[in-house]
Amino acid sequence: MIGARTHSGCSEWEPGFSLLEVLIAMGLTGLLLVGVLPLFTKSMTNNAEGNQLTEVTNRARLRVEELMALPIDAEEITVPAGELELVTTELFSPSEERWIEESLYADSAEPHFTRTIRVRQFNMSALGPTDLEFEDDEVLPGGTPASEVEIKEILVRVNGGRPSLLNIMGGRKAVTLRVLKSV
């Protein structure tokens, strides 16, 4: 009985819970915890994913701002002669805490982020009043006279870790920012 128990040979009731009542209460509490525990683990997972997405977005946005501040003929956004685009891939070294070109990355640690930058160039005739997308056949090759290059499309993609099939399939967080820089 809740609230009372007796000793053998005693006629007085003592307040408290019996062992059976304590075991039932523990069982019910355990069942409640088993039902609530997945909510806590999912919350922690969502929080970690949100933090990673924020970090990836900030790193992409920072690089876009750096490239937009450059003059249109800056070497960092100049397409090499004979090529249709300039593509650079950099990895963020956790030990050095800086971006390193992929071909020069020798750190044994897995990179925290991969950043891919693609630059293509166009002239204004590639845009129409209703067509704001560039087609592959409208790209101006590297070496085109500077007077004809009026727009540069800069695409920055940052994702967690090394480039892999997981990144393509959406296993890791990635952000792609596309901006147009004009003369």
Residue with tokens 């006629």: 11
Q: Tell whether 28 is covered by a domain.
A: no
Taking the CA atoms of the chain, what radius of gyration do you get in angstroms?
Answer: 31
Both tokens of 107, joined, read 């750190």
pLDDT at position 154, please?
A: 92
Range of the domain at 55: 44-182
pTM, full prediction: 0.70
Q: Tell whether 3 is covered by a domain.
A: no
Please state, in angstroms and rounded to a whole number, the distance separating the CA atoms of residues 88 and 102. Answer: 8
Residue 56 burial (CB count, 10 A): 22
Q: Tell whether 24 is covered by a domain.
A: no
Mean pLDDT by 10 residues, the chain (183 residues): 55 78 92 87 86 85 92 90 93 87 83 91 82 82 88 89 58 81 84
Q: Tell whether 158 is covered by a domain.
A: yes
pLDDT at position 61, please?
A: 92
Q: How many domains does the chain have?
A: 1
Q: Tell whether 9 is covered by a domain.
A: no
Q: Tell whether 6 is covered by a domain.
A: no
Q: Tell whether 100 is covered by a domain.
A: yes
Q: What phi, psi does 79 have (nearest 5°)?
A: -75, 130
Measured in whole angstroms, the distance separating CA 54 from the mean position of its chain's CA atoms is 7
pLDDT at position 79, please?
A: 94
Q: Tell whether 126 is covered by a domain.
A: yes
